[in-house]
A and B are shown apart, each in its own frame.
Chain A
Amino acid sequence: MMAEATTPSTSGVNADSPTLVVQATGLVKRYGHVTALDGMDFELRDREILAVIGDNGAGKSSLIRALSGALIPDSGEICLDGKRVHFRSPIDARRAGIETVYQELAVAPAMTIAENLFLGREVRRAGVLGSVLRMLDKKRMLRESAEYLAELRIGIGSMTQAVETLSGGQRQGVAVARSAAFARHVVIMDEPTAALGVKEGTQVLELIRRVRDRGLAVVLISHNMPHVFEIADRIHVARLGKRAAVLDPKRVSMSDAVAVMTGAIAAEQLA
């Protein structure tokens, strides 16, 4: 079952532990005198929702940026499905099967839902129309978008609607759906519920669960502790550029998690 609070030094894979989709060890990133990552370790299991929490400057976002290819660590290694990877850009990470939902920059607002879902992966028509005239198969993309959003139970009627006409929650739904549709291994979500109301936030949480249930591993960055505790299978606590602990939300309380995050108590004291 879920591991209880583990010490930060355990980076090796135990024989009885589940399959690791992503494993990062000893990530270091320095900007001049500032150390963003100071030997950060990270483990993401198959089909889990791993929340990453930490104070500002704890290395949380640097870690995520390293995993999504937006930052190249000075040292340390990242393995995806057991194979060492070197991401030079977010596009490399995407090609390797890691999709990221960014807070603000997820969608092209004036374009339709279907266009957003297929942006950069457009489907062309069969035959001469597709190969010579390079015509898009709009009908197929519309149909597949509708099927896909229905499967994820995102309630949006028309795929030809411009994304900017959607509510914040629906828009986030499209962004999440887009990433989940194209990810082969991992979806990273940066504060997916931050700008949303209570009801919409809950809907996005539901959606994240369904994404996991479809067989993907999800990394969730959030400041919202109730959301983290509601949805996460495990919680990675970042502190001072290191992994302070990995917590089981079923065994620790929210206030204990915050205490570990701020350094008020050490992770070992929780056991």
Chain B
Amino acid sequence: MAAWRMTRPSFGAIGPLLALLGACLFFATQSDRFFTGDNFALVLQQVMVVGVIAIGQTLVVLTAGVDLSCGMVMALGGIVMTTLASASGVPVPVAIACGIGVTALFGAINGWLVTAIKLPPFIVTLGTLNIAFAITQLYSDAQTVTEIPESMTALGRTFDIGGTSVVYGVVLMLLLYGVARFVLRETAAGRHVYAVGNNPEATRLTGIPTQRVLLGVYVTAGVCYGLAALLSVARTGVGDPNAGQTENLDAITAVVLGGTSLFGGRGSVLGSLVGALIVGVFRNGLTLMGVSSVYQILITGVLVILAVTADQLSRRGQGGR
């Protein structure tokens, strides 16, 4: 009985990739401009911010949590680094470090509330979502920060691959995915993240400091949001106090579409990249087809529900709780 399940590839690993390929094929038949190098470079550029947020989000979701504050924390990080670099004249590397420091601090606050006070991640991050948003508006006076030093937007510059211009930020995103995948799969720290999501009590009883693992996950997620802020600033060229509002839920959507279970303990970070690409490809393809953005949102919603349904059904199939 157990044997045939062994041989069946899990939906979580293959499903999202098939969905992405299917979407690509569909849009290729609908628009001549879809299947071009320039268009793919554009999708990647549009996806890079969400993609990097989704790395942090994946870590949190793997521990059976969710981080609703991700986009707002990113916006705060972006405002901090741009304000410091433009108005205050702080050297760019220092300003960037401060921005990432602030997002990491927010991660630490989330992690502390979840581990020490033992509040549900959903509630904690719902609170910090609002707090981060308010601080962003207050700190920036609800004004967009312009006149940013050029070196701060360096990741928005492009280089040439076979006639297609690719943004450096995309390279950073792919690099971060590589690092995250390595840590999660090949190191004890990464396996402990899965174990905590799988069975926190059993994990604690093996002597693994589960609270420290959780705290580490939230802080690392915060760092990811800070790096995403840097990419967002590089892409838009400004510090936008209203950034991160679509990315906030898109990142969660990407993680779920990528096959990571909201119940924790199963999934992969590369799945989230695929999930982010699915969202990006749908937006891009529907735009090319001339479908209005409201329908794009509608379709994204349907996709999420389908993905969660697939997750649930496959779990039932495996006899999991």
Contacts and interface: CB of A to CB of B under 8 A. Distances in A.
A155 interface: no
Interface in A98-116: 100, 102, 105-111, 115
Interface residue SS majority, chain B: helix
Contact of B195 (A108, A121, A134): A108
B24 interface: no
B207 A94 contact: yes
Interface residue SS majority, chain A: loop
Contact of A135 (B1, B186, B206, B318): B186
A107 B207 contact: no
A169 to B, nearest CB: 11
Contacts of B186: 133, 135-136, 138
Chain B residues touching A, range: 20 to 34
A102 B205 CA distance: 10
Contacts of B265: 108-111
A158 B7 CA distance: 12
Contact of B2 (A90, A120, A133, A165): A165
A29 B197 CA distance: 33
Contacts of A106: 202
B188 A136 contact: yes
Contacts of A111: 191, 194-195, 198, 265
Contacts of B266: 110
18 contacts: A94-B205, A102-B202, A102-B205, A105-B199, A105-B205, A109-B198, A111-B194, A111-B195, A111-B265, A119-B206, A119-B208, A120-B206, A120-B208, A124-B188, A133-B187, A161-B6, A164-B320, A166-B2
Interface of B: 1-2, 5-6, 182, 186-189, 191-192, 194-195, 198-199, 201-203, 205-208, 265-266, 318-321
Interface of A: 90-91, 94-95, 100, 102, 105-111, 115, 119-122, 124, 133-136, 138, 158, 161-162, 164-167
